[in-house]
Amino acid sequence: EADIYQTPRYLVIGTGKKITLECSQTMGHDKMYWYQQDPGMELHLIHYSYGVNSTEKGDLSSESTVSRIRTEHFPLTLESARPSHTSQYLCASSLGSSGGAEQFFGPGTRLTVL
Amino acid sequence: GQQVMQIPQYQHVQEGEDFTTYCNSSTTLSNIQWYKQRPGGHPVFLIQLVKSGEVKKQKRLTFQFGEAKKNSSLHITATQTTDVGTYFCAGPTEEYGNKLVFGAGTILRVKS
Protein backbone atom coordinates (compact mmCIF):
# COMPACT_ATOMS: atom_id res chain seq x y z
CA GLU A 1 0.00 0.00 0.00
CA ALA A 2 1.27 3.46 -0.97
CA ASP A 3 2.28 5.74 1.88
CA ILE A 4 0.36 8.88 1.15
CA TYR A 5 -1.77 10.49 3.80
CA GLN A 6 -4.52 13.06 3.80
CA THR A 7 -6.13 14.88 6.69
CA PRO A 8 -8.81 15.46 7.58
CA ARG A 9 -10.74 12.63 5.96
CA TYR A 10 -14.04 14.46 6.41
CA LEU A 11 -14.69 18.15 6.99
CA VAL A 12 -17.93 20.09 7.37
CA ILE A 13 -17.53 23.84 7.65
CA GLY A 14 -19.47 27.03 7.20
CA THR A 15 -19.23 29.46 4.32
CA GLY A 16 -16.39 31.95 4.51
CA LYS A 17 -14.05 29.82 6.60
CA LYS A 18 -10.43 29.36 5.68
CA ILE A 19 -9.34 25.73 5.46
CA THR A 20 -6.20 23.79 4.69
CA LEU A 21 -6.26 20.22 3.46
CA GLU A 22 -3.10 18.33 4.32
CA CYS A 23 -1.28 15.82 2.13
CA SER A 24 1.95 14.04 2.97
CA GLN A 25 3.85 11.21 1.34
CA THR A 26 6.79 9.22 2.63
CA MET A 27 7.91 7.77 -0.69
CA GLY A 28 10.25 10.62 -1.64
CA HIS A 29 8.26 11.36 -4.80
CA ASP A 30 9.07 14.62 -6.54
CA LYS A 31 5.69 14.98 -8.21
CA MET A 32 2.47 15.65 -6.35
CA TYR A 33 -1.05 16.43 -7.51
CA TRP A 34 -4.43 17.60 -6.26
CA TYR A 35 -7.61 16.38 -7.92
CA GLN A 36 -11.21 17.37 -7.32
CA GLN A 37 -13.85 14.68 -7.79
CA ASP A 38 -17.61 14.85 -7.33
CA PRO A 39 -19.31 11.54 -6.42
CA GLY A 40 -19.31 9.11 -9.33
CA MET A 41 -17.67 11.63 -11.61
CA GLU A 42 -14.32 12.12 -13.33
CA LEU A 43 -11.11 13.37 -11.78
CA HIS A 44 -10.21 17.02 -12.36
CA LEU A 45 -6.61 18.10 -11.87
CA ILE A 46 -6.54 21.41 -9.98
CA HIS A 47 -2.88 21.75 -8.94
CA TYR A 48 0.39 19.95 -9.38
CA SER A 49 4.01 20.25 -8.36
CA TYR A 50 7.13 18.76 -9.89
CA GLY A 51 9.35 19.59 -6.94
CA VAL A 52 10.05 21.90 -4.02
CA ASN A 53 9.04 25.52 -4.70
CA SER A 54 7.36 24.49 -7.94
CA THR A 55 3.57 24.66 -8.27
CA GLU A 56 1.28 24.91 -11.29
CA LYS A 57 -2.43 25.23 -11.84
CA GLY A 58 -4.16 22.25 -13.35
CA ASP A 59 -6.79 21.87 -16.02
CA LEU A 60 -9.75 22.86 -13.85
CA SER A 61 -9.85 26.39 -12.54
CA SER A 62 -9.86 26.42 -8.78
CA GLU A 63 -9.97 29.14 -6.14
CA SER A 64 -7.64 27.12 -3.97
CA THR A 65 -3.88 27.62 -3.59
CA VAL A 66 -1.06 25.20 -2.85
CA SER A 67 2.50 25.32 -1.58
CA ARG A 68 5.45 22.93 -1.77
CA ILE A 69 8.06 23.89 0.79
CA ARG A 70 9.09 20.31 1.54
CA THR A 71 9.19 17.33 -0.79
CA GLU A 72 6.86 15.27 1.33
CA HIS A 73 4.21 17.92 2.01
CA PHE A 74 1.70 19.49 -0.43
CA PRO A 75 -1.09 21.34 1.41
CA LEU A 76 -4.09 22.88 -0.33
CA THR A 77 -5.74 26.02 1.07
CA LEU A 78 -9.13 27.62 0.49
CA GLU A 79 -9.13 31.20 1.80
CA SER A 80 -12.91 31.50 1.90
CA ALA A 81 -14.90 28.32 1.47
CA ARG A 82 -18.21 28.35 -0.42
CA PRO A 83 -20.88 25.67 -0.98
CA SER A 84 -19.59 25.26 -4.57
CA HIS A 85 -16.35 23.91 -3.05
CA THR A 86 -18.19 20.88 -1.68
CA SER A 87 -16.46 17.87 -3.22
CA GLN A 88 -13.88 15.17 -2.63
CA TYR A 89 -10.25 16.27 -2.86
CA LEU A 90 -7.70 13.62 -3.74
CA CYS A 91 -3.95 14.03 -3.39
CA ALA A 92 -1.55 11.89 -5.42
CA SER A 93 2.16 11.52 -5.97
CA SER A 94 4.41 9.92 -8.54
CA LEU A 95 8.03 9.17 -9.29
CA GLY A 96 9.73 9.39 -12.64
CA SER A 97 11.28 11.77 -15.08
CA SER A 98 8.01 12.80 -16.69
CA GLY A 99 4.49 13.48 -15.51
CA GLY A 100 3.20 10.28 -17.05
CA ALA A 101 4.29 7.84 -14.34
CA GLU A 102 2.00 5.74 -12.15
CA GLN A 103 0.24 7.82 -9.51
CA PHE A 104 -0.38 6.82 -5.91
CA PHE A 105 -3.50 8.33 -4.40
CA GLY A 106 -4.28 9.27 -0.84
CA PRO A 107 -7.62 8.33 0.77
CA GLY A 108 -9.13 11.73 0.01
CA THR A 109 -10.82 14.50 1.99
CA ARG A 110 -14.57 14.84 1.69
CA LEU A 111 -15.38 18.52 2.11
CA THR A 112 -18.86 19.87 2.75
CA VAL A 113 -19.39 23.62 2.91
CA LEU A 114 -22.70 24.69 4.38
CA GLY B 1 -10.80 19.65 -23.72
CA GLN B 2 -10.99 15.98 -22.90
CA GLN B 3 -8.20 14.12 -24.69
CA VAL B 4 -8.97 10.64 -23.38
CA MET B 5 -12.48 9.32 -23.96
CA GLN B 6 -13.88 6.30 -22.21
CA ILE B 7 -17.00 4.24 -22.95
CA PRO B 8 -19.42 3.16 -21.71
CA GLN B 9 -20.05 5.63 -18.93
CA TYR B 10 -21.96 3.07 -16.93
CA GLN B 11 -22.61 -0.68 -17.11
CA HIS B 12 -24.74 -2.92 -14.97
CA VAL B 13 -24.11 -6.67 -15.43
CA GLN B 14 -25.30 -9.91 -13.91
CA GLU B 15 -22.68 -11.67 -11.83
CA GLY B 16 -20.81 -14.09 -14.07
CA GLU B 17 -21.21 -11.99 -17.22
CA ASP B 18 -18.23 -10.43 -18.95
CA PHE B 19 -17.51 -6.69 -18.98
CA THR B 20 -15.42 -4.48 -21.24
CA THR B 21 -14.53 -0.80 -21.07
CA TYR B 22 -12.84 1.07 -23.89
CA CYS B 23 -10.47 3.99 -23.87
CA ASN B 24 -9.65 6.19 -26.88
CA SER B 25 -7.16 9.00 -27.25
CA SER B 26 -7.00 11.60 -29.99
CA THR B 27 -3.21 11.45 -29.86
CA THR B 28 -0.61 8.71 -29.56
CA LEU B 29 0.17 7.81 -25.97
CA SER B 30 3.56 6.77 -24.65
CA ASN B 31 1.75 4.54 -22.18
CA ILE B 32 -1.74 3.77 -20.92
CA GLN B 33 -2.60 3.14 -17.31
CA TRP B 34 -5.68 1.66 -15.68
CA TYR B 35 -6.99 2.47 -12.22
CA LYS B 36 -9.86 1.10 -10.14
CA GLN B 37 -11.83 3.13 -7.62
CA ARG B 38 -14.12 1.26 -5.27
CA PRO B 39 -17.28 3.08 -4.14
CA GLY B 40 -16.26 5.59 -1.47
CA GLY B 41 -12.58 4.90 -2.07
CA HIS B 42 -9.69 6.35 -3.99
CA PRO B 43 -8.19 5.33 -7.36
CA VAL B 44 -5.73 2.45 -7.16
CA PHE B 45 -3.26 1.70 -9.94
CA LEU B 46 -3.89 -1.60 -11.70
CA ILE B 47 -1.47 -1.77 -14.61
CA GLN B 48 0.56 0.11 -17.19
CA LEU B 49 0.92 -0.84 -20.86
CA VAL B 50 3.76 0.58 -22.91
CA LYS B 51 4.23 -1.39 -26.11
CA SER B 52 2.11 -1.25 -29.24
CA GLY B 53 -0.31 -4.21 -29.28
CA GLU B 54 0.61 -5.21 -25.75
CA VAL B 55 -1.71 -7.56 -23.85
CA LYS B 56 -1.44 -8.18 -20.13
CA LYS B 57 -3.52 -10.34 -17.83
CA GLN B 58 -4.25 -10.15 -14.14
CA LYS B 59 -6.38 -13.15 -13.18
CA ARG B 60 -9.79 -12.41 -14.77
CA LEU B 61 -8.71 -8.98 -16.09
CA THR B 62 -7.23 -8.60 -19.58
CA PHE B 63 -5.72 -5.30 -20.70
CA GLN B 64 -4.89 -4.41 -24.30
CA PHE B 65 -3.03 -1.49 -25.86
CA GLY B 66 -3.85 -0.82 -29.50
CA GLU B 67 -1.39 -1.10 -32.34
CA ALA B 68 -1.49 2.65 -32.94
CA LYS B 69 -1.16 3.33 -29.19
CA LYS B 70 -4.30 5.43 -29.28
CA ASN B 71 -6.77 3.04 -27.71
CA SER B 72 -6.98 0.47 -24.97
CA SER B 73 -9.46 -1.90 -23.40
CA LEU B 74 -10.03 -3.62 -20.10
CA HIS B 75 -11.98 -6.87 -20.19
CA ILE B 76 -13.21 -8.67 -17.09
CA THR B 77 -14.23 -12.32 -17.51
CA ALA B 78 -17.03 -13.68 -15.32
CA THR B 79 -17.58 -10.61 -13.17
CA GLN B 80 -17.88 -10.90 -9.42
CA THR B 81 -19.37 -8.51 -6.88
CA THR B 82 -15.84 -7.57 -5.85
CA ASP B 83 -15.32 -6.06 -9.31
CA VAL B 84 -17.78 -3.25 -8.54
CA GLY B 85 -16.29 0.23 -8.90
CA THR B 86 -15.20 2.81 -11.42
CA TYR B 87 -12.45 1.95 -13.88
CA PHE B 88 -10.36 4.82 -15.20
CA CYS B 89 -7.86 4.80 -18.02
CA ALA B 90 -5.16 7.46 -18.10
CA GLY B 91 -2.36 8.43 -20.44
CA PRO B 92 0.28 11.15 -20.66
CA THR B 93 -0.46 13.63 -23.45
CA GLU B 94 2.02 16.05 -24.95
CA GLU B 95 -0.60 18.78 -25.10
CA TYR B 96 -0.69 18.78 -21.30
CA GLY B 97 3.05 18.61 -20.77
CA ASN B 98 2.99 14.82 -20.52
CA LYS B 99 0.84 14.95 -17.42
CA LEU B 100 -1.53 12.05 -16.97
CA VAL B 101 -4.96 12.76 -18.44
CA PHE B 102 -7.70 10.59 -17.00
CA GLY B 103 -10.73 9.33 -18.87
CA ALA B 104 -14.14 10.01 -17.35
CA GLY B 105 -14.33 6.45 -16.06
CA THR B 106 -16.72 3.53 -16.48
CA ILE B 107 -18.91 2.69 -13.50
CA LEU B 108 -19.44 -1.05 -13.14
CA ARG B 109 -22.28 -2.46 -11.07
CA VAL B 110 -22.69 -6.21 -10.61
CA LYS B 111 -26.01 -7.87 -9.72
CA SER B 112 -25.70 -11.04 -7.69
**Mind telling me how many Å the CA of B6 is from chain A's nearest CA?**
11
Is A50 within a domain? yes
Closest residue in A to B43 (Cα–Cα):
A105
How do beta strands A10-13 and A109-113 pair? parallel
CATH at residue A94: 2.60.40.10
B48 to A103: CB separation less than 8 angstroms, yes or no: no
Per-domain boundaries in chain B: 4-111
Task: Tell me which chain A residues have a C-beta less than 8 angstroms from the C-beta of B107.
Answer: 40
Q: Does a structural domain hold residue A49?
A: yes
Output the CATH code of domain B4-111: 2.60.40.10
The Cα B68–Cα B58 span in angstroms is 23
Nearest to A94 by CA among A41, A37, A34: A34
The secondary structure of residue A97, as a DSSP letter, is S
> How long is chain B?
112
- The pLDDT of residue B38 is above 80: yes
Whether A69 maps to a domain, the answer reads: yes
Residues of B in contact with A90 (CB under 8 A): 42-43
pLDDT given for residue B98 in this prediction: 72
Residue B48 forms contact with A (CB below 8 Å): yes
Which residues lie below 8 Å from residue B89, measured CB to CB, with a gap of 6+?
Answer: B4, B6, B21, B23, B32, B33, B34, B35, B72, B74, B102, B103
Q: Show the domain range for A75.
A: 7-109
Could you tell me if B91 lies within 8 Å of chain A, comparing CB atoms? yes
- Distance, CA of B8 to CA of B55 (rounded, Å): 21
Q: Could you read off the pLDDT of B54-96 as tens digits, one per residue?
A: 999 999 999 999 999 999 999 999 999 999 999 999 998 776 6
Per-residue model confidence (pLDDT) at position A99? 60
Give the Cα separation of B68 and B48 in Å (integer).
16
Within-domain flag for A11: yes
The pLDDT value recorded for residue B84 is 98
Average of per-residue pLDDT values in chain A: 93
Give the model confidence (pLDDT) of A55-91 as tens digits.
Answer: 999 888 789 999 999 999 999 999 999 999 999 999 9
pLDDT at residue B43 tops 90: yes
| Phi–psi pair at B52, nearest 5 degrees | -60, 130
Hey, are the CB atoms on B41 and A59 less than 8 Å from each other? no
What total number of domains does chain A contain? 1
Span A98-114, mean pLDDT?
90
Chain B residues closer than 8 Å to A98 by CB: 92, 98
